[in-house]
Chain A
Amino acid sequence: MSNSSWAPIALLLSLVAPCLGAVCVGLGRSRPGRWAGGVALTSALLLSLALALAWLARDGEAVLFGDGVNAGMLAPRLALRLDGLSLPFALNLALVAILSLWYALDYAVAQAQSFHALMLLFVASMLGALLADELILFALFWEGMLLTSSLLLLRHGDSPNAESVTLRYFIYTQAGSLALLGGLLWLAVRAESTSPQMVSLWAQQQGASLPWVIPAALAVGFLVKMAIVPLHGWLPDAHAIAPMPLTILLAAAMLAMGGYGMARFVFGMVGPGGVAALQTPLMVLAITSQILGALMGLASRDIKRIVAYSSISQMGYALLGIASFSSEGLSAGVMHIWSHGIVKSLLFMVIGLVIAATSRRQISRLGGLGKRLPRVMLALGIGALAISGLPPFITFASEWRILLADLASTHPALVVLAFVGIVLTSCYALALVGRLAWGSAPEDSEPLQPIPRSMALSTLATVILLILVSLAGYPLTIWLGGLITSAMGSGA
């Protein structure tokens, strides 16, 4: 690492940009909501630019700001790190933030100023948790994520029982976070450092003699975030009541944070020796989520909930990849989270368009939209095919590689069940398209509302992005795989 380069400064700026944006929005409370949206979108663009610059100007394998070597006391130290493992997640976050804030520009939300300020803070805390290179700092940002997203749900949740949904979300997540905090502190005390690198060195030396409770406690914290069955109870309601831009951030970016945690801390920091005992339970949970999420998607009657349940199922795939505890499986899992980010953004955006045009969410009261909203239905079809994991979409590449990695692991038999999940996914996804596009139109159809401009444009951009990414699937896979393998190989 060299401190003379300006890459570290760019890294810090990427974190500062959304915070400054939030302050701007807060100061300009008297200005119109669209102004707040514009500031938010600009900050998200600046964030992405700073991240890209930091990565391009790096020398060596990672960009570092400050150092996380700790004096042993519990003061957080400002140490940031962008390496091959955090890059895909940061990229995903930046993309999703831009798309959702763009979408939010014309999305009707009450008190737009506080909404956009909180959205930016939420993005900042997710980015902070991704970049934190010190465990206490990580915990700070991790809890910041919970606080900001809860406030968003509480103040902007679109339901009379937003309060109880938020409480459930908060308590669920905080229970996981406390287990996580306990595990991290235990490791930090034993390793006498709060730097992930030092802890990792210590833990890998312990190998299998590390008590399995510790990685299990960490995993509980991250699996709640990923909404893996049976820790998924908070997700459907939270996603259903959130305003659509927030739903996109929750589903496409925040769930990914759980996957990041599993990859960085459970697999990466504790190491394969310490986590071996967890492999079977994790794989079983992953497949349960995959199948149960898809079944619940099939059973749901509310189009937003169907897509929300699909997140549970998709995170099951990602966990399946990570739980193979091989570097191929891990990179495939990360890859899947990454592609899920784009596909899930697209699906929620399209659902938002349908709701905006028809003001309805119940599937029984929708239908025959193929003729009335042809382009929206085309986008939905693309999203549905992509989430079903069909070629040529990028999700096919990641799912395929996950299955291959698991076939090579100790439980090849479980992979058979994963195929059941894949079939079920196609069922609910295609059933959704079929019902909306070609189902018989309800008798009480009303004239369609116009679709707001920024919502349509950002959806179009997401479709184009998905197609581009899918076309570049092979080189992307190789690039990401190489990044992750080298990051995991270098000790963290």
Chain B
Amino acid sequence: MSPLPLTAPLIVVAAGAVLVYLLARLLTQDSRFLAAVSATILALALVALLPSLRDAWAGEIRVWPAQGEEALLIAEPGGMLLCACSLLLGLTVVSFSGDYLALDRRPDRFYPLVLLLQAGTLGMALASNLFTLYLFIVLTSVSSYILVAFRRGTETAIEAGYKYAVTGSMASILALAGIAYLLRATGSLSLPFAPRNPDGWHLLGLSLLCLSLVIKGALFPAHIWLPDAHGRAPSSVSALLSGIVAPLHLYLLLKLGLALDAPLVTLGWLLVAIACGSMLVGSLMSLRQSYGKRLLGYSTISQVGYATLAFGFGLVFGEPQAIAAGLVLLVAHALLKGLAFMSKGVLHFYCGATQLDDLDGLWQRAPVASGLFAVALVGLAGMPPLAGFAAKAGILWSLARVGHLSAYLGAGVLLVSSLISLGAYLPLIARLLRPRSTDSEMVRPSPWMQLPLVLLALGSVILGLWPTPIWEMALRAARFLLTWGAHGG
């Protein structure tokens, strides 16, 4: 029996987007029905991904097309991990949106766009050719610009979407220019490759490409657009953007750096510096927020900073454990940030909570959603037994393995930053638990919104208590990436 080609999940999701659009135009505008169809499509894509995932686990890396020199897609373990993560998060987002979309309506646009976004992220994680990668980046970006501005009735959403689109397009142009210079220097677009004669053009192309990814990954000092965009988008969209899209750009930075024969030590130190800035700025700024989703946006900046720190030290010292720890953090962050944004969405939907002040005493009105939000915050702060703890402990563990003075300093910054963010998250939990005098009627959130969130919370507990399988996969990914570039050269 011939295994499914690597393109299967991509085709399923992209064709699904068209199908959902047609269904919505021709048949029904019922949000729940379309959510169910989209969820089925994503579940099918996940099933189609499984054979490649299993092969990647077994150390057999699939490529597509299978014959010939120029592979366009590659199923390497790290990309597979993020693909699976993205699809799972997408599944919870669409089933959450079934009822949540009552706020925004237009399901005929929403679900196809989410599916296109999913196709874009899948493609980004799988691409093994720079131009393919570029196309998928553009697909992801364009669909996310529209989704950020989806709540088009409000001026802030339009403004946030506009800002996001301008920054993102600039970054895309930088990426295209970078790819052009790389092509000029090497005559190839297929990953991995080493330059025929590494010269200034190669370096320029590489820098432009990295710069573009830094901007799109919202890494310090190019992070300023993120809190606006993720703070104004609908919660379900923010969950996807913060949980998987921004971190995926960071992963690509690592992957391309290794595949394109970048000066790894320099790139590594740069990442370490960026990481320290991201961690501190993200956690310090989250102390000053009064708007719930903006706070979560700043928390994404610091969390992505933790992973950047691990990646940076992994590159400088060639330490697979550190890269793996960064990947585990990205997975944990996807779960917890999805949980945080969507449980916040439930509180918004039923209790009208947008500002932090609105959170006061919500425990009494919506205990499950408040509890889930508290769990997400505690997890993001890195407390056990949640995934955030396992991931942060993993990063500290790998930094201790590196054993260099700078790694200890980096670990110190990480610890300080997590302590500061604790100062931002804890008051929120305290607010939820405040006694409430007025308007304390219980609300009954839809199970379609809460059940996926409960599953996310369970997943993050399991990952916190038993991170071994994800660790193993991440280690495989790290080992593969570290040798991938070397093979190409």
Contact = CB atoms under 8 A, between A and B. Distances in A.
Interface of A: 71, 73-76, 136, 139-140, 143-144, 147, 151, 154-155, 163, 166-167, 170-171, 174-175, 178-179, 181-182, 185-186, 188-190
Nearest to B465: A76
Contacts of B422: 170-171, 174
Given A73-B471, A163-B434, A185-B400, A178 B419 contact: yes
- Give the interface SS of chain B, mostly helix, strand, loop or mixed: helix
A387 to B, nearest CB: 34
B-side interface size class: 20 to 34
B397 A75 contact: no
Interface string B61-102: 000000000000000000000000000000000000000000
Contact of A179 (B390, B400, B415): B415
B407 to A, nearest CB: 11
A73 B385 contact: no
Nearest to B321: A189
Contact of B385 (A140, A170, A179, A185): A140
Q: Name, among A73, A76, A167, the residue most crowded by chain B CB atoms within 10 Å (CB to CB).
A: A73
| A-B complex: 9 closest residue pairs judged by Cβ atoms | A189-B400, A140-B384, A186-B400, A178-B415, A163-B430, A75-B468, A185-B396, A143-B384, A73-B468
Interface string B395-416: 0110011000000000100010
Nearest to B397: A185
Contacts of A178: 415, 418-419
B307 interface: no
Nearest to A213: B408
B383 interface: yes
- Give the interface SS of chain A, mostly helix, strand, loop or mixed: helix
Nearest to B325: A74
B467 interface: yes
B393 A181 contact: yes
A15 B434 CA distance: 31
Nearest to B390: A74
B397 A74 contact: yes
A136 B471 contact: no
Given A147-B383, A175-B419, A178-B415, A167 B426 contact: yes
A253 to B, nearest CB: 21
Nearest to B434: A163
Contact of A182 (B378, B415, B472): B415
Given A144-B384, A178-B419, A188-B397, A75 B467 contact: yes
B397 to A, nearest CB: 5
A361 B465 CA distance: 45
Q: Name, among B430, B465, B466, B467, the residue most crowded by chain A CB atoms within 10 Å (CB to CB).
A: B430
A185 B397 CA distance: 6
B426 A74 contact: no
A144 B397 CA distance: 21
A76 B433 CA distance: 30
A16 B312 CA distance: 43
B51 interface: no
Contacts of A151: 433
Interface string B364-400: 0000000000000010000111000110011011001
Given A74-B390, A75-B471, 17 more contacts: A73-B468, A73-B471, A74-B394, A75-B390, A151-B433, A154-B433, A167-B426, A167-B430, A170-B426, A171-B419, A171-B422, A171-B423, A171-B426, A182-B400, A185-B400, A186-B400, A188-B397
Nearest to B429: A154
Contact of A74 (B385, B433, B471): B471
Contacts of A155: 433
B427 interface: yes
Contact of B465 (A75, A139, A167, A175): A75
Q: Name, among A74, A136, A144, A151, the residue most crowded by chain B CB atoms within 10 Å (CB to CB).
A: A74
Contacts of B423: 167, 171
A258 to B, nearest CB: 19
Contacts of A140: 384-385, 389, 465
A174 B418 CA distance: 10
18 contacts: A74-B397, A74-B467, A75-B390, A136-B393, A139-B384, A139-B389, A140-B384, A140-B385, A140-B465, A147-B383, A155-B433, A163-B430, A167-B430, A178-B418, A178-B419, A181-B393, A181-B396, A185-B396
Given A144-B384, A182-B411, A189 B397 contact: yes
Contacts of A186: 400
